[in-house]
Amino acid sequence: MNLRCDLHSHSTVSDGTLSPTELVERAHEKGVEVFALTDHDATEGLKEAAIAAQKLGIKFVPGIELSVTWSHQTFHIVGLGINPDDAVLNKGLMALREFRAQRGEEIAQKLAKKGLDKPLEGAKKYANGEILSRTHFARYLVEQGKAKDIRQVFKRYLVKGKPGYVAGKWASLEDALSWIHGAGGLAVIAHPARYKVSATRLRQLITEFKALGGLGFEAISGSHSAEEEDRMARLGNQFELYISKGSDFHSPENIYRELGYLQDIPSGSKPIWHSEAWKERIGAF
């Protein structure tokens, strides 16, 4: 009933530190049998990961984590089982990247005012490709001795109200879901307990998400506590969403949770791989 699966992870294509191949190899070592790569706003790692997974005999689910602005706040929507070559999706991703580049310059200007030396060059040193993330700025700030670790950097510099914060202007919820569905994927609300919103707002988000055809709710997340996982699973059940699980693994040095080290989907919830859409588009296990 419960798959040894991990349906949320990041590679060097976005803000992770392992290449897609290294990530799949690590997942395999940790006993993961069904694995999704879900880089932020990028599909470039999916082909490499699929090849690595095929060699090792693990089932690979091509995914993405889209940045969304809803009600003036940032939310993340995971797409599972997407076609990486879908033209409309890729056009949407280009716009998100343009915003990332522009936001990067603004963040850099703000950090330079705080006395940080060459922030843009510094952050880009940690970025591998098209995606410039706050995580890359965070790594540079740690390198420069501005904080002891990534978590502390975010708290001091990169979140709302702090000197390096720039508000997001990401995709609308409607666009994000239409890109995912157009590319043949299933949409999942990522790490729902992480958002700093009231219970009412979260319910509104879920209601709109469902109205747009959204199916999944990542109650089991490497960034949730056990209490949050139980609470989110109950919330997902109330809205008749299918429950997903993923570590949100970024790097071996900075572990919230190891690849695949996740609790089972609670017995009263419906795992996303039991949905008809999953069976049709991703396959039955």
Given the complex with ligand AMP, which of 28 and 40 has the nearer CB atom? 40
Q: How far is the CB of 12 from Mn ion (least distance, A)?
A: 12
- Count of residues near Mn ion by CB under 5 A: 5
Partner whose binding site includes residue 67, from Mn ion, ligand AMP, none (CB under 5 to 8 Å by kind): ligand AMP
For the record, the structure tokens of 37 come out as: 């790569």
Instruction: Among 12, 17, 43, 67, indicate the residue that binds ligand AMP (CB under 6 A).
Output: 67
Considering only residues 16 to 55 of the shown chain, the ones binding ligand AMP according to CB under 6 A are 40
Examine residue 86 and tell whether it contacts Mn ion (CB under 5 A): no
Given the complex with ligand AMP, which of 151 and 279 has the nearer CB atom? 151
Q: How far is the CB of 23 from Mn ion (least distance, A)?
A: 13
- If you count them, how many residues does the chain have? 285
Examine residue 218 and tell whether it contacts Mn ion (CB under 5 A): no
Binding window for ligand AMP (CB under 6 A); candidates: 25-33, 118-126, 131-139, 237-245 = 131-139
Q: How far is the CB of 149 from ligand AMP (least distance, A)?
A: 9
Examine residue 6 and tell whether it contacts Mn ion (CB under 5 A): no
Examine residue 218 and tell whether it contacts ligand AMP (CB under 6 A): no
Distances (CA, A) of 5 to 17, 38, 116, 164: 21, 13, 41, 36
Distances (CA, A) of 99 to 31, 45, 106, 131, 213: 37, 21, 11, 10, 26
Instruction: Among 28, 76, 146, 181, indicate the residue that binds Mn ion (CB under 5 A).
Output: 76
Given the complex with Mn ion, which of 75 and 273 has the nearer CB atom? 75
Considering only residues 47 to 66 of the shown chain, the ones binding Mn ion according to CB under 5 A are 65
Given the complex with Mn ion, which of 256 and 274 has the nearer CB atom? 256
Given the complex with ligand AMP, which of 16 and 271 has the nearer CB atom? 16
Residue 71: exposed, middle, or buried by beta-carbon count in 10 A (0-12, 13-18, 19+)?
Answer: exposed
Distance CA 200, CA 92 (A): 29
Examine residue 146 and tell whether it contacts ligand AMP (CB under 6 A): no
For the record, the structure tokens of 171 come out as: 């995709």
Given the complex with Mn ion, which of 65 and 86 has the nearer CB atom? 65
Instruction: Among 12, 43, 133, 244, indicate the residue that binds ligand AMP (CB under 6 A).
Output: 133
Q: Are 16 and 249 in contact (CB under 8 A)?
A: yes
- Count the Cβ atoms, other than its own, within 10 Å of residue 110: 18
Q: Are 195 and 173 in contact (CB under 8 A)?
A: no
- Summarize as ranges the residues that interact with Mn ion (CB under 5 A): 15, 65, 76, 190, 248
Residues forming contacts to ligand AMP in the complex (CB under 6 A) are 15, 40, 67, 133-135, 150-151, 154, 250
